[in-house]
Amino acid sequence: MEKIRLRKLGLSNLNWLQKHPELKVQKEQEISQALFNDPCWKNAETVAITKPLAFEFDTHILLNRGWQEGKQMLMPITGKNRVLTFHIVTPETIFEKTRFGVEEPQDASVVSDKTIDLIVVPGIVFTHEGFRIGFGGGFYDRFLKHYQGETCSLVFSEQIQENWQVESFDMPVKRLFIS
């Protein structure tokens, strides 16, 4: 119940930020610059991101920068049994909206999780320790349980909520970039 309430609060905060586009863009630029200057980005040859919803961090910034830098860029597809697989995306990739309202790549090559250097993990609510509340499907927690590479999240300060109970299946990200 607590996560349901916090998810609603997080979504409300993100919707508020979306109504203040100048502030949202400023925060996205600050967070992006911090990420681009960090070794987790600089050393990554393969980076996984999600296609954003309107109120989320605009990951197109990362997508375009990654392509400019010659990185292999990936996006997830949600499969049966709540399993994520990551697929190569290019400027020519065609996307299709899922039942969750998220756009996923179509006809894209799957990549082994062992070859992914950095996963930029989405979320709605975060603690400073890297624990997160997403949309409630558990896709990323299941994937991160066995993933050994670098993880980070791009977080607006409006998404930070410290007072909630982390559960045994919650998997933290290693780094947060916050503005």
Is 99 annotated in a binding site? The answer is no
The total number of structural domains that make up the chain: 1
Q: Is 137 annotated as a binding residue?
A: yes
Looking at beta carbons, which pairs linking 102-110 to residues 24 or more positions away fall under 8 Å?
102/50, 102/51, 102/53, 102/78, 103/51, 104/51, 104/75, 104/76, 104/77, 104/78, 105/75, 105/77, 108/75, 108/77, 110/85, 110/86
175 annotated to bind ligand: no
pLDDT tens, position by position, 100-141: 788 999 977 889 989 999 999 999 999 999 999 998 888 999
Domain that holds residue 28: 2-178
What is the rounded average pLDDT for all residues in the chain?
Answer: 94
Does the annotation list 162 as a binding residue? no
The CATH number of the domain where 51 resides is what?
A: 3.40.50.10420
Q: Is 123 annotated as contributing to ligand binding?
A: no
CA distances from 177 to 36, 103, 160 (A): 11, 24, 12
Residue 142 tokens read as 């299941």
Which tens digit of pLDDT belongs to each residue from 138-173?
A: 899 999 999 999 999 999 999 999 988 898 899 999
What tokens were used for 59? Answer: 């990951």
Q: Is residue 5 a known part of a binding site?
A: yes
97 is in an annotated binding site: no
